[in-house]
Amino acid sequence: MLGEMGSSTEAVTVFVRLLDEGTDVWRPARADRLPGGSYRLIPPEGYDPEDEKWEFAPGSTVVCELQAKGGQEVLVATRQV
């Protein structure tokens, strides 16, 4: 499953909405699960904020919820904390 749940020391995949794309685009991103159920987005190697504008910037701490995307239930970043 793309948005697998993990322990506090395990990175998981979460989806972050990209802005200014003209259509809904969701980028898979690695995140560390933190105590209390939030996640810290791990900056990807070679990230260029001029090329991709994430709704929540890499390094942000976010709350996620399970949502259906592409026929699977995945973790989606819904708000920053």
pLDDT value at position 6?
44
Query: String of b and e for 27-42 (b: at least 16 CB within 10 Å)?
Result: eebebbbeeeebbbbb
pLDDT band with cut points at 50, 70 and 90 for residue 56: very high
Rounded distance between C-alpha atoms, residue 12 and residue 79, angstroms: 17
The structure's pTM equals 0.84
Short-list 9, 52, 55, CA closest to 33: 9
72 in Cβ contact with 2 (< 8 Å): yes
pLDDT value at position 70?
86
